[in-house]
Structure 1
């Protein structure tokens, strides 16, 4: 896992690494959460996001160890074969907010053991419950190690990746896009490296998948109208609010991911993908604009309101309409959405070109 030294004092990650129980881990998460909330307005957003994700990584890593200890105390014994606990989504990209939910999975060794299936079925469920206890909401899309689709042996993962690469419909492509951001957290790192090699091999074997990913990438909600005004929600409890996640953040993430995959860039961080893309094509101002827009998106995600219910952190991901009256914020948002529209149109043109060549 990546680590960074900070000019500003950050949360005490050392105490997370040695948390002796789930109760202690929850206490440390709450303390770190408070510290990070106080630092949000005084640190550059990229540095603050790094701090936040360092905390999440340490908690997830310690939770995996505590899960082993709790299962052993319950009579399951130690893990029968090596495993890798990995994360996907914003966690995989190290872009989680303070209240992001769970997006994780398990890669199990192909070694034979009669207790393997029973143990890791229990392990996945137990770890997901433990993370919920510590404050991480369960993923509504069920991208969690408690689910069999995201908990597989290395060989079964290879077959799963191959299956996704053969089906160009929306859901399999979406699952593949989620998987592409995989990052190792705890356990046996060689399993995660082998998984990455399987993923890259599958991408190389399926050139049609690039077009399918592009097709998924250009599908997102309208965010600016013909007059250049910000489009907010029309109905429901968030009427008048702006959807930060799906209005600006996810379109940028998906677009940059597509371009990075096309260039064989292995980094999962959106900012690092942008850095590599800029090096490959330094004369393209679009990447500079994307970086500015993405930092704005991170700032907006960090600023949305959140709730804590039964110790679980969550957020709607919407910017209240009252915030849109702030002229500086509104200018930054429009600037970012203009970049989103430009990159979206560029990718639409690429998709039309690719599909015309197939005719």
Structure 2
């Protein structure tokens, strides 16, 4: 850790780990993010991101523990069988902002127990509600442990993953892509490890699966026009602004994820995936280096998006105003990063045409 004056974080981490009420845990988050916001400008990007995501992990794990205790206090008892609470999305990739929403799930042991399904339905709903109170909005796509699709026994998960991998349509592949970012957060780590083994076994079983992932990956909003000018929002409250998340960050995440799946790379972090891909020589070194530079720019710009404070918690729409961006080096960096996205997109389109041409 290279952050200066880490004492406030040590104190906040202890407050998170020892919080005994939802209110005290929420306050611990508020205190932590105040320090993180204050240190953002001076801290090395990787260290800051690691600390911010450590905060999220600790809060989520403590929330799960509190919900477990609440189930006991309300007469439902302890979990009847082992379970794992897992993360997807930006939390799964350890890339959450201070205002990220929920993307999570649950793996439940196959051990037989009366009332198991009912217990974990209530438990999953409580966890999602607790996280919402703690400042993690519910996922609009309903990727949460409160939803049956993302809360299953290990064998049900294995069956579901197999079904998704057998169907190359857009929606099943989208769910499989979401699943590929899975990371263990709390509970029985063995369940998460077994889930992951099953996931990568399916990739080895279906060698054409990465091509289906690639078809989903090459779809994204235009970020540079034919003249090389940055494309901004045309309508609505953010007209003239740039969408950092979907214009820059997500296209990079998606492309690197595709390469990772293609080459059996099991890391979930985008930066770790890039480093592993470099060791495997999975793509030309100049392109991978450019991707890492672009991704770091994307992270910095995501952190620079304007935020609002609501009841002590942060909210951001993820857009940057273009005019102030042009006054600093950010505009040049954004153009450089978007040029990499366009170059990357064209390379993936060529790969898809080549792959589909061989199959026809």
Normalised-by-shorter TM-score class: over 0.9
Deviation string, structure 1 residues 241-267 (Cα, Å, up to 9, x no partner): 101011000000010011111111110
Q: 1:235 to 1:283 in 2, by over 3 A?
A: closer
Q: CA RMSD in A?
A: 1.3
2:351 aligns to what? 350
Distance in 2, matches of 1:147 and 1:294, equals: 32
Residues 72 and 6 (structure 1), Cα distance of their counterparts in 2 relative to 1, 3 Å cut: farther
Aligned pairs for 1:195-206 (under 5 A) are: 195-206=195-206
Q: 1:216-255 CA distances to partner (integer Å, 9 max, x unpaired)?
A: 1111011011111110011111110101011000000010
Give 1:208 deviation, angstroms. 2.3
| Deviations 1:324-355 (CA, angstroms, capped at 9, x unpaired) | 32241110000000001111111110000000
Gaps of 5+ in 2: none
Query: Is it true that 1:67 corresponds to 2:51 in the alignment?
Result: no
Q: How many residues align?
A: 355
Higher RCO (C-alpha 8 Å, min separation 6): 1
Shift, 1:283, TM fit: 5.7
| Partner residue in 1 for 2:293 | 292
Show structure 1 runs of 5+ residues with no match: none
1:85 aligned to 2:85? yes
1:41-60 equivalences under 5 Å are 41-60=41-60
Partner SS for 1:207: coil
Q: Which residue of 1 aligns with 2:5?
A: 9
Local SS of the residue matching 2:208: helix
Q: Within 5 A, what are the aligned runs for 1:329-348?
A: 329-348=330-349
- Report if the CA contact (8 A) 2:71-2:77 is conserved: yes
> Structure 1 stretch 196-205 or stretch 299-308: which is displaced more?
299-308
Q: Which runs of 4+ in 1 moved over 4 A?
A: none
Cα deviation, residue 121, structure 1? 0.4
Q: After superposition, give the CA deviation of every residue in 1:59-88 in whole Å (9 maximum; x if it has no partner).
A: 001111001011111111110100000000
**Equivalent position SS for 1:164:** helix
Give the superposition deviation at 1:203.
Answer: 1.3
Aligned to 2:173: 173
For the residue of structure 1 that corresponds to 2:117, the secondary structure is helix
Deviation per CA, 1:6-46: give whole Å up to 9, x if none: 44233231221111111110010000010000011001222
1:268-287 alignment runs, 5 A limit:
268-281=268-281, 284-287=285-288
Q: Is 1:39–2:35 an aligned residue pair? A: no
Range with bigger deviation, 341-350 or 281-290: 281-290
Pair 251,113 (structure 1): closer, same or farther in 2 beyond 3 Å: same
